[in-house]
Each structure stands twice: as structure tokens, then as C-alpha cells.
Amino acid sequence: MEEYAGVHRRQTGDVNRPRRATKVEQPWEKEALVGSYVDREVVFLGPVGVGKTTAISTLSTLAPVQTEVYAAASDDFYVHTKTTTTVGIDFGMWHRPDGRTIGLYGTPGQERFQAARGPAMNPEAGLVLWLFGYEHLLEDQVSEWIMAIHDMKATNRVVVAVNFKEPGQPDPVTELRHLIPAFGFPDVPIMSADPRKAGDVAAVVDAALNRVGATA
């Protein structure tokens, strides 16, 4: 017995017998849907324009949900290099080779949208703090963002990912490894990462998962 188009028929030599029904892929099966089941969660935090939305687009297996709009001139840019900004929660889904699915959440960089950072409050979610590597911005970023994560009681599950630097400047990762402990947080992992490279984004996501005890 075989099933054709939902009907059981006996196999015969009839060349006109119905063909096996094929599964039609629905549009939503190619897109990440907020609320879908995931095995673990990682939340991206950081200033406007640092690469959070790009990182999710790079790593997400499915087309991500994005909440970018054109930025106003008054938006809180550390670096004026883009014309759009995230105003809600971006969401992607990374299907790992081991079969697990990781939910990727991107949050707004502006203070006025901090209410959209709710996913970071999940105590089981790993956090990736994306920072600009430009030397003149390091201390201000650490002061703002590490202390904000401290206020969330989440410094034990954060990893810092450093993007951008000026040609010839000292290694920002090395500088941050001195600067962040000076604020009282000696155990925060700090990595260089390009949000356009899937391998870099996967590495910081895995590091964040390890911070909350996941087997990566």
C-alpha cells in the first residue's frame, strides 16, 4: 500500500495512478517567527550602529525579523556611519550543526527604547555586548553598558564582542581587558568579532552560551 495525495491505493501497473503528493513549503517556514521553540537564547546588546542587526542577519538560518527604521538626527549614535536604527526586538534562529536551535535577539541601542531589552532579563539567556573598538570611545561605552548590565545582575552571563578599530591603534581587546576589570568585573570574556562573518558571530554566541552553562 502507498499513500497518494492523502488516499490509500494499491500499487498496480497503471501508469495513470495518482502521483505522490509533494510537500509545499510555506513562506513562513523560511522565516524566523517570534515565539518559535528554541533550545537556548542569546541576546545582543550594545550602542546604535555597532552591528547587532548585521550579526543576526549573518548567523540566522532563517530570514530574521528586523525592526529597523530610518534614524533621526538626534538618535544616540556613538559613530554616525548608518542611516537606520533598531526600535524594537530583532529576532533570528540559528540551526546549529548539532541539531539545537538558538534564538538570537537584537535590542535597541538607544536609552529611550530600553523597555525593548526585556529578553536580556531572562536569567538563562547568554548576552553578547557589542562595542566599538575605537580608542576614544572605549571608556564611555564600558561606563554605560557594563554598568547597565550590572544593574540587570547579568555580568556573569555576558561576553564582549569588539567591532571596528582605527588603523594603527592599539588592540582594543587588550585595552578592554584592562579597562573592564577596573570597573570591578575581572571575569568578563572579551573577543574581537566581525558581525559580517558567520564564524565570528558563532564564536561569540557559543561563548555566551558557555557563560550560562550550555554545552556548546
Name which of 27, 24, 56, 32 is nearest 43 in CA terms: 56
Q: Residue 107: what pLDDT?
A: 87
The pTM (predicted TM-score) of the whole model is: 0.75
Set of cell numbers at residue 3: 499513500
Q: Residue 144: what pLDDT?
A: 92
Given the DSSP bridges, would you call strands 40-45 and 158-163 parallel, antiparallel or unpaired? Answer: unpaired
In a domain, 150, yes or no: yes
In a domain, 151, yes or no: yes
Identify the residue whose cell numbers are 550594545: 46
Question: How many whole angstroms separate alpha carbon 203 and alpha carbon 95?
Answer: 14
- Whether 5 contacts 65, CB under 8 Å: no
In a domain, 194, yes or no: yes
Q: Residue 145: what pLDDT?
A: 93
- Whether 142 contacts 180, CB under 8 Å: yes
In a domain, 121, yes or no: yes
Owning domain of residue 152: 51-70+84-211
Q: Residue 84: what pLDDT?
A: 54
Handedness of CA 177, 42, 59, 101 (dihedral sign): positive
DSSP string, 26-91: PGGGGB--TT---SEEEEEE-SBTSSHHHHHHHH-SSBPB--EEEPPTTS-BSS---SEEE-S-EE
Question: How many whole angstroms separate alpha carbon 109 and alpha carbon 53?
Answer: 11
Per-residue pLDDT of the chain (216 residues; tens, 9 = 90+): 444 344 344 444 554 554 544 444 444 456 666 668 899 999 999 998 899 999 999 999 999 887 654 545 444 555 545 555 545 688 999 999 999 999 999 988 656 445 545 566 788 999 999 999 999 999 999 999 999 899 889 999 999 999 999 999 999 999 999 999 999 999 999 999 999 999 999 999 999 999 997 434
Identify the residue whose cell numbers are 552591528: 51
Question: How many whole angstroms separate alpha carbon 183 and alpha carbon 206?
Answer: 25
Handedness of CA 82, 88, 93, 94 (dihedral sign): positive
Q: Please name the amino acid found at residue 38.
A: V
Count structural domains, the chain. Answer: 1
What backbone phi and psi angles, to 5 degrees, belong to 14?
-65, 115
Residue 153 sits in a domain whose CATH number is 3.40.50.300
Q: Specify which residues 4 forms β-bridges with.
A: 7
